[in-house]
C-alpha cells in the first residue's frame, strides 16, 4: 500500500543504523524554477522523505524563517494547483517518500476529494495539516483513505500520553513530534544544553503510543543534535536550517553532505 512508503523509507534508514533525514522546503523556494533543482538535490543526496510546504498566508505554526519563505512563494504565484501539476509531471522521479505540509484552508479551497485524488496521483504519500486536531480529522482521513494517502499525526510537548494513543490508533506513515511549544525555527534549550528532559519524556511517550516511526522536528539547527536523538526517534525533520543555508548562498546538496 502506498502509504507504507513513508514507513518503509524511515525503517530502511533505521535498519541501516541511522536516523532517517526529512528535509522541508516550501514549494517554490527560493524561486519556482530553482525549487525543483533543490528537490532533485535533496533526493539524490539521500533524503529519506521530503516534505514540501504548501504556502499559506496565515501560517500559524511557522516561525519567521519559514513564514518569510512561504510568503515569498505566494507572491511568486505558487498555489496547490501548481504544486500538484509539477509533481505529477515528475511522478516516479524520486526515491524519497513525499509529504505535503501545510494548513487545511488551501486544501478545502482546492476541494478535499479533488486534492486527495490529485495528490495521490502526483506521487504524494502523506500530508501534514498543522491546524487539524485529532477530533477534526475523521472527514479528512475518510477522503484520503481511498487514495492511499496518509494523514500524518502532529503531536508535541503538550500532547498527553492518552491523547497520543488516540492518534496512534489511526496513525499511518509516521508521527511528527514537535520539540518546542512555539513556532518553527525558534531558539530552544536544545540549541545549547542538549535535549531537554521534557522533550526526552515526550518522545518516550510517543514511541510507546505510535506503531509507526516517530520523527522529531522544530528546533533542529546543527547535525550534532542528531547524536542525542539516537534511540529516541526514528527520523529528524529540518526546515529553517535548510532555508537559512540556501539564503546564505548554499544549496541542498551541500546541506545534506553536512547532515548525513
Distances in whole angstroms, Cα of residue 106 to Cα of each of 131, 199, 253 = 12, 31, 30
> Any idea what the Cα angle at residue 59 is, between residues 118 and 238, rounded to 5°?
80
The single residue listed with the C-alpha cell 545534506 is: 256
Selected catalytic residue, list 62, 86, 118, 234: 62
In the annotation, is 62 catalytic?
Answer: yes
Sign of CA dihedral 56, 151, 154, 192: negative
All three cell numbers of 8 = 518503509
Contact 24, 55 (CB under 8 A): no
Distance between CA atoms of 124 and 104, rounded to whole angstroms?
Answer: 16
Task: Supply φ then ψ for residue 46, to 5 degrees.
Answer: 105, 15
In the annotation, is 40 catalytic?
Answer: no
Cα Dmax for the chain: 46
CA atoms within 13 A on the CB side of 202: 23
Residues 6+ apart with CB under 8 A from 89: none
Q: H or E element: which one contains 166?
A: helix 161-170
Selected catalytic residue, list 11, 38, 43, 51: 51
Residues noted as catalytic: 51, 62
Amino acid at each position: 500500500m502506498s502509504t507504507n512508503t513513508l514507513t518503509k523509507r524511515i525503517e530502511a534508514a533505521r535498519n541501516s543504523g541511522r536516523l532517517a533525514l526529512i528535509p522541508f522546503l516550501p514549494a517554490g523556494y527560493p524561486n519556482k524554477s530553482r525549487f525543483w533543482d533543490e528537490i532533485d538535490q535533496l533526493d539524490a543526496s539521500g533524503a529519506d522523505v521530503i516534505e514540501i510546504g504548501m504556502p499559506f498566508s496565515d501560517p500559524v505554526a511557522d516561525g519567521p524563517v519559514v513564514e518569510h519563505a512561504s510568503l515569498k512563494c505566494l507572491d511568486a504565484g505558487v498555489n496547490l494547483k501548481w504544486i500538484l501539476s509539477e509533481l505529477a509531471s515528475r511522478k516516479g522521479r524520486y526515491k524519497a517518500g513525499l509529504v505535503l505540509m501545510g494548513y487545511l484552508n488551501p486544501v478545502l479551497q482546492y476541494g478535499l476529494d479533488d486534492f486527495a485524488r490529485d495528490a495521490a496521483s502526483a506521487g504524494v504519500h502523506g500530508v501534514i495539516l498543522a491546524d487539524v486536531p485529532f477530533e477534526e480529522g475523521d472527514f479528512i482521513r475518510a477522503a484520503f483513505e481511498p487514495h492511499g494517502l496518509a494523514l500524518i499525526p502532529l503531536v508535541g510537548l503538550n500532547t498527553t500520553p492518552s491523547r497520543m494513543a488516540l492518534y496512534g490508533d489511526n496513525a499511518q506513515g509516521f508521527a511528527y513530534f514537535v520539540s518546542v511549544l512555539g513556532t518553527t525555527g525558534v531558539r530552544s534549550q536544545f540549541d545549547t544544553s542538549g535535549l531537554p528532559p521534557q522533550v526526552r519524556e515526550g518522545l518516550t511517550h510517543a514511541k510507546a503510543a505510535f506503531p509507526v516511526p516517530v520523527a522529531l522536528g522544530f528546533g533542529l539547527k546543527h547535525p550534532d543534535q542528531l547524536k542525542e536523538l539516537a534511540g529516541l526517534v526514528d527520523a529528524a525533520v529540518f526546515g529553517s536550517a535548510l532555508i537559512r543555508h540556501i539564503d546564505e548562498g548554499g544549496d541542498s546538496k551541500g546541506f545534506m553532505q553536512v547532515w548525513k
